[in-house]
Structure 1
Amino acid sequence: MSVNPEVSAIRPFTVAFPDAELEALRARIAATRWPDKETVDDLTQGVQLATIKELARYWLAEYDWRKCEATLNALPQFLTEIDGLDIHFIHVRSKHEAAMPVILTHGWPGSILEMLKVIEPLADPMAHGGKATDAFHLVIPSMPGHGFSGKPTAVGWGPGRIAGAWAELMNRLGYREYVAQGGDWGAVITDLMAVQAPPELIGIHTNMPGAVPQDIDAALLSGNPLPEDLSDEERRACAQLAFSYKHIYYALLMGSRPQTLTGFADSPVGMAAFMADHDVPSMALISEAFAGKAVGLTRDDVLDNMTLYWLTNTAVSASRLYWENKFAFLATKGVTIPAAVSAFPDELYQAPRSWVERAYPKLIHYNKLDKGGHFAAWEQPELFVEEVRAGFRSLR
Structure 2
Amino acid sequence: MHIQSTKPDTVGAALVDSPVGLAAYLLEKFSTWTNPDYVTKSDGALTQKFTMDELLTNVMIYWTSNNVASSMRFYKETMAKFYELQLDQIPVSESVPAAVADFPHELMRGSRALNAYQYRNLVQYTDMPRGGHFGAFEEPQLMSDDIKSFARKVLDLEAIEKSKQKTTK
TM-score w.r.t. the length of structure 1 is 0.33
The counterpart of 2:82, out of the listed 328, 336, 340, is: 328
User: Counterparts of 2:15 and 2:110 in 1: how far apart (Å)?
Assistant: 33
- The residue number in structure 2 matching 1:282 is 34
What is the identity, as a one-letter code, of the residue corresponding to 1:364?
V
Q: How big is each residue's C-alpha offset from its partner over 1:83-124, in whole Å with a ceiling of 9 and x where there is no partner? A: xxxxxxxxxxxxxxxxxxxxxxxxxxxxxxxxxxxxxxxxxx
Partner of 2:66: 313
* Equivalent in the alignment of 1:377: 136
User: What letter corresponds to residue 373 of structure 1 in structure 2?
Assistant: G
For residues 123-174 of structure 1, give each alpha carbon's deviation from its aligned partner in whole angstroms, at most 9, with x where no partner exists: xxxxxxxxxxxxxxxxxxxxxxxxxxxxxxxxxxxxxxxxxxxxxxxxxxxx
Instruction: Give the alignment of 1:188-199 within 5 angstroms.
Output: none
Residues 313 and 281 of structure 1: is their aligned pair in 2 closer, same or farther, counting only changes over 3 Å? closer
What is the rounded CA distance, in whole Å, between the counterparts of 1:267 and 1:358 in structure 2? 44
**Counterpart residue type for residue 301 of structure 1:** E
Alpha-carbon distance, 1:300 to partner: 1.5
Rounded Cα–Cα distance in structure 1 between residues aligned with 2:133 and 2:52: 17
Structure 1: gaps spanning 5 or more residues: 1-246
Q: 1:263 aligns with which of 10, 14, 37?
A: 14
- Residue 252 of structure 1 corresponds to 6
SS at match of 1:269: helix
Q: Per the alignment, do residues 383 and 260 of structure 1 end up closer, same or farther by CA in structure 2, a change over 3 Å counting? A: closer
Higher relative contact order (CA 8 A, sep 6+): 2
- Equivalents in 2 of 1:324, 1:387: separation in Å? 29
In the superposition, relative to structure 1, how do residues 260 and 354 fare at CA in structure 2: closer, same or farther (>3 Å)? closer
1:386: how far off? 0.6
- Counterpart CA distance in 2 for 1:331 and 1:352 is 11
By how many angstroms is 1:333 displaced?
3.2
The code of the aligned residue for 1:298 comes to T
Q: Percent identity?
A: 29
Q: 1:375 to 1:332 in 2, by over 3 A?
A: farther
Cα distance in structure 2, aligned partners of 1:313 and 1:296: 26
Q: In the TM superposition, what whole-angstrom CA distance separates every residue of 1:322-351 from its partner, at most 9, and x where no partner exists?
A: 454465298343222221111111111554
Q: Is 2:140 the counterpart of 1:358?
A: no
TM-score normalised according to structure 2 size = 0.70
Q: 1:322 to 1:249 in 2, by over 3 A?
A: same
SS at the partner of 2:129? coil
Match of 1:295 among 45, 48, 72: 48
Whole-angstrom CA distance in 2 between matches of 1:372 and 1:323: 24
The one-letter code of the counterpart of 2:34 is: S
State the distance in 2 between where 1:364 and 1:296 align: 29
1:1-396 equivalence runs, <5 A: 248-254=2-8, 258=9, 261-278=12-29, 280-282=32-34, 284=38, 287-289=44-46, 294-325=47-78, 327-328=81-82, 331-336=88-93, 337-396=96-155
1:367 match: secondary structure: strand
Inter-CA distance 333–277: structure 2 relative to 1 (3 Å threshold): farther
Distance 1:366 1:301 in 2: 29
RMSD, matched Cα: 2.7
Q: Which runs of 5+ in 2 are unaligned?
A: 156-169
Residue 353 of structure 1 deviates from its aligned partner by 2.3
CA distance in 2, matches of 1:295, 1:324: 32
Cα distance per residue 1:20-74 (max 9 Å; x no partner):
xxxxxxxxxxxxxxxxxxxxxxxxxxxxxxxxxxxxxxxxxxxxxxxxxxxxxxx
Residues 300, 342 of structure 1: alpha-carbon distance in 2 compared, 3 angstrom cutoff: same
Letter in 1 for 2:117: R
The one-letter code of the counterpart of 1:307 is M
